[in-house]
Amino acid sequence: MPKIRKPAEPASRRAFLKSGATAAAAGAATLAMPNVVRAQEAAVFKFQSTWPAKDIFHEYAQDFVNRVNEMGGGRLKIELLAAGAVAKALEVHDAVLSGTLDGGHGVTAYWYGKHKAFSLFGTPPAWGWRANQMLGWIKYGGGQALYDELVQQVLGLDLVGFLSGPMPTQPLGWFKQQVTDAEQLKGLKYRTVGLSADLFKELGAAVTIMGGGEIVPAMDRGLLDAAEFNNPTSDTLLGFPDVSKDYMLQGYHQSAECFEIIFNKTKFDALAPELQAVIRYAAEAASADMSWKAMDRYSKDLEALKAAGVRVHQTPESVLRAQLAAWDKVIEAQSAEPFFAKVVESQKAWTKRVVGAQFEIEVDQKLAYDYFFKA
């Protein structure tokens, strides 16, 4: 006998409540959506470099900003401005502290008027290390902790900073004639920054500190006799060959340096942890890329300077030795301040171990270079 089909059962109370809860949840999600969108609106930081727009240093700042903006996933955006847009080059630090700017790209030597130890993270003594070894100290030798201590404890600044971008040994600078003896530096109106200013004062120079964009106009007006900035590319872009034809390469005044990327700490701390990480890792990535870009651009532009009639000279050993002797005096004088001395001892311990190991481990590259290219 065929089975009789039962009529459909009415929906159970449980099913009704379940469907009602689902609809309610969907409605709540719809209502809540504007709040989610608002929570994910991009944080926009106004960020100024201490460099003129035409300088390769501003390009390095842009490289960092591009990485942050790309990895920020629409939740963090940095707007880059050139020196002078909001604050003068030497005033960026104060503008970030006041909140007029959210961040900046520069060098710690620019702030050594606040505390001489600032310059140890930008223009340290010539311990025999290279710039990337100095950044190694920052990362693995205790340098970042000391920087943080200086900024946030010793000076109590509402600031967070990341050290990035190794700068090769800087030229002695641009002069009216070739420098063959340290005596020629005495009485010279010379531009430099940071502890290098103390060094050249020991050598008898009359030192002036100014931002990069001001140097060439000052030389053109006779306010400076000579000046250093940083590298063949920057020096070319800033116009040094227009006011001088004698370019002295090498020096111990700034044999290792790096950039400083800073943010207002209150604003940085308000970011989600993953966005703070984006900034940290963008600084590291830009640092590596900058080291490779510098190899390419500086070497090309040095050749271009020679082709354009600039007389390129090597700083003689007698001048280099005079600089080392001057470093002795600067270090001794400034180490009377306890925190300065603390940083110096940390740097010396790192360099003695790391550079000492380098000399043991790495082969002499000059021997091979001369064999293949100077035969």
CB 144 within 8 A of CB 84: no
Q: What is the CA 3 to chain-centroid distance, rounded? A: 85
For residue 182, count other CB atoms closer than 10 A to its CB.
19
Q: Does some domain include residue 4?
A: no
52: containing domain: 43-167+257-295
For residue 99, count other CB atoms closer than 10 A to its CB.
12
Q: Does some domain include residue 188?
A: yes
- Whether residues 284 and 349 share a domain: the answer is no
Q: Does some domain include residue 339?
A: yes
Q: Collapse the DSSP code of 207 into the 3-class scheme (helix H, G, I; strand E, B; otherwise coil) and give the result.
A: strand
Q: What is the pLDDT of residues 26-49, one digit of tens each?
A: 444 443 433 333 346 789 999 999
CA gap 375, 373 in Å, rounded: 6
For residue 339, count other CB atoms closer than 10 A to its CB.
18
Q: What is the pLDDT of residues 96-143, one digit of tens each?
A: 999 999 999 999 999 989 999 999 999 999 999 999 999 999 999 999
70 Cβ partners below 8 Å, 6+ apart?
A: none
- Whether residues 199 and 339 share a domain: the answer is yes
pLDDT of residue 102: 98
CB 190 within 8 A of CB 205: yes
Sheet of 43-49: strands edge to edge?
76-81, 43-49, 103-106, 257-264, 159-167
Q: Does some domain include residue 208?
A: yes
Could you tell me whether strands 159-167 and 226-227 are parallel, antiparallel, or unpaired per DSSP bridges? unpaired
Q: Does some domain include residue 38?
A: no
Last-in-domain residue among 295, 322, 343: 295
Q: Does some domain include residue 113?
A: yes
- Whether residues 72 and 156 share a domain: the answer is yes
- Whether residues 77 and 130 share a domain: the answer is yes
- Whether residues 337 and 214 share a domain: the answer is yes
Tokens encoding 45: 């930081």
> Which among 372, 10, 340 is positioned nearest to 195, based on CA atoms?
340
DSSP letters for 59-72: HHHHHHHHHHHHHT
pLDDT of residue 212: 85
DSSP letters for 17-64: HHHHHHHHHHHHHHHHHHHHHHHTSPEEEEEEESS-TTSHHHHHHHHH
What CATH number is given to the structural domain containing 331? 3.40.190.10
Please say whether the dihedral angle defined by the alpha carbons of residues 113, 114, 115 and 118, taken in this order, is positive or negative: negative
pLDDT of residue 42: 86
pLDDT of residue 211: 85
pLDDT of residue 213: 87
Q: Does some domain include residue 27?
A: no
- Whether residues 108 and 183 share a domain: the answer is no
Last-in-domain residue among 270, 295, 320: 295
- Whether residues 163 and 290 share a domain: the answer is yes
Total structural domains within the chain? 2
What CATH number is given to the structural domain containing 68? 3.40.190.170
Q: Does some domain include residue 184?
A: yes
DSSP3 helix / strand / coil % (the chain, rounded to 5)? 55, 15, 30
Tokens encoding 192: 């430099």
Q: Collapse the DSSP code of 135 into the 3-class scheme (helix H, G, I; strand E, B; otherwise coil) and give the result.
A: helix
88 Cβ partners below 8 Å, 6+ apart?
A: 211
pLDDT of residue 8: 44
- Whether residues 97 and 156 share a domain: the answer is yes
pTM of the model: 0.87
CA gap 290, 296 in Å, rounded: 10
Please give the average pLDDT of every successive group of 10 residues along the chain, which has 375 residues. 43 42 43 40 94 96 98 96 96 96 96 94 95 97 98 97 96 96 96 94 95 92 95 95 97 96 98 98 98 98 98 97 98 97 98 97 95 89
- Whether residues 143 and 217 share a domain: the answer is no
Could you tell me whether strands 159-167 and 257-264 are parallel, antiparallel, or unpaired per DSSP bridges? antiparallel
> Which among 299, 300, 296, 191 is positioned nearest to 254, based on CA atoms?
191
- Whether residues 89 and 181 share a domain: the answer is no
Please say whether the dihedral angle defined by the alpha carbons of residues 222, 228, 231 and 234, taken in this order, is positive or negative: negative
pLDDT of residue 40: 60
- Whether residues 120 and 162 share a domain: the answer is yes
> Which among 255, 229, 227, 251 is positioned nearest to 323, based on CA atoms?
251
> Which among 262, 268, 288 is positioned nearest to 165, based on CA atoms?
288
CA gap 126, 331 in Å, rounded: 11
CB 44 within 8 A of CB 221: no
- Whether residues 153 and 75 share a domain: the answer is yes
